[in-house]
Structure 1
């Protein structure tokens, strides 16, 4: 799914929110997540997963064309670990893996996501 497809799906489901606002919100969410990761912070989306930055140490590699040894500098990489709920849905039978919120027909307001009893929803950005 591309950013444009994500925006389109949200616009289809949240018919009371203008497209420009959806675009601005999606852009803001991605920008905040990017800035947090650039700063080396961890992003935990409970039930979905955790994004974090890991540092790979410098090492000696080999040029595949010449076989010559080359120095590969240390670098930061992005890591994602799926949350328990997402892992369970990925491995569930197809009928059970479907979204817990049915597609909202055009013209109807998007209903809030159902949460399990006692569950909470939060999007912490930790440092």
Structure 2
């Protein structure tokens, strides 16, 4: 599902105009992004938790040449699904 399809679905389910649904989606994504940048978790009960995870520096290999290279430490966004979502996906 892409953003346009999500906008249509939200518009139908929440009985909003397409423009209002698009603004709502944009606001939610912006709020989640701001929280993650600030180092906070975003917990949505029944859906899951968005959080950041630290990745340590490590040595990797160039797959074409086999040459060793250093991969810098980084911070990545992660999602941990709630038990309820896991149950629904298992069906």
The two structures share one fold, judged by TM-score above 0.5: yes
- In the other structure, the counterpart of 1:11 is 11
Displacement of 1:13 in angstroms is: 2.5
TM-score (norm 1): 0.66
Distance in 2, Cα, partners of 1:14 & 1:53:
30
Higher Cα radius of gyration: 1
Displacement of 1:7 in angstroms is: 0.8
- In the other structure, the counterpart of 2:29 is 30
Per-residue CA deviations over 1:49-86 (Å, capped at 9, x if unaligned) read 11111011111111122221111100111211110111
Structure 2: 5+ residue stretches without partners: none
Displacement of 1:24 in angstroms is: 1.0
- Which structure has more relative contact order (CA 8 Å, sep 6+)? It is 1
Distance in 1, Cα, partners of 2:13 & 2:18:
11
Secondary structure, aligned partner of 2:29: helix
TM-score (norm 2): 0.89
Q: Which runs of 4+ in 1 moved over 4 A?
A: none
* 1:79 equivalent in alignment to 2:78: yes
Give the number of the structure whose residues are more often helix, by fraction: 2
Displacement of 1:14 in angstroms is: 2.9
Provide the alpha-carbon RMSD of the alignment. Answer: 1.3
Distance in 2, Cα, partners of 1:58 & 1:45:
31
Per-residue CA deviations over 1:8-48 (Å, capped at 9, x if unaligned) read 01212333x22222111111001111111122211111111
Per-residue CA deviations over 1:91-115 (Å, capped at 9, x if unaligned) read 13xxxxxxxxxxxxxxxxxxxxxxx
Distance in 1, Cα, partners of 2:68 & 2:54:
22
